[in-house]
Amino acid sequence: MTKNDFKKGQTVYLKYIGDRRNGTIGSITEATVKSIGSKYITTINGQYDTERKFDANNDFKEYYTIGESSYQLYLSKQQIEQENEAKKIGKLIKSLFVSSWSDEMKLPIEKLRAIQDIINS
């Protein structure tokens, strides 16, 4: 994804990546491209036309002078949904292999061999 993929007036999507206290990580918000500058893409969204700037040179994360980014900019909702699904599946797989207090495997050997076959193919 590059800055040239964005057009003024285009519908884009914002993924919440900030602090859990202020929102649900991975949640999706629709926005509209307001302007495209040499370094930043500015969007507006919400009832009060909240304006946000995204840095094209920093993985399209929200530009902040104090603190850290709360949102990341995407061209499609599907991109965010796939990332969220991959993260969820990754957590599940990780939890099935090793528990936090033991090296004991939680899957039977047959399933582990099947996984190994998939990885090796």
Query: What does the alpha-carbon distance between residue 85 and residue 42 come to, in Å, rounded to a whole number?
Result: 27
Residues in the chain: 121
User: 108: pLDDT confidence band, cut at 50, 70 and 90?
Assistant: confident
Please tell me whether residue 69 adopts helix, strand or coil conformation: coil
Supply φ then ψ for residue 118, to 5 degrees: -65, -45
Tell me what percent of the residues of the chain surpass a pLDDT of 90: 50
Amino acid letter, 98: V
48 in Cβ contact with 31 (< 8 Å): no
pTM here? 0.77
Amino acid letter, residue 18:
G
What is the predicted pLDDT for the residue at 41?
Answer: 95
67-104 pLDDT, tens digit each: 777 999 999 999 999 999 999 998 888 877 766 666 67
pLDDT in tens, 2-15: 899 999 999 999 99
What band does 54 get if pLDDT is binned at 50, 70 and 90? very high
Closest CA to 14 of 36, 44, 39: 44
CA–CA gap between residue 25 and residue 12 (Å, rounded): 18
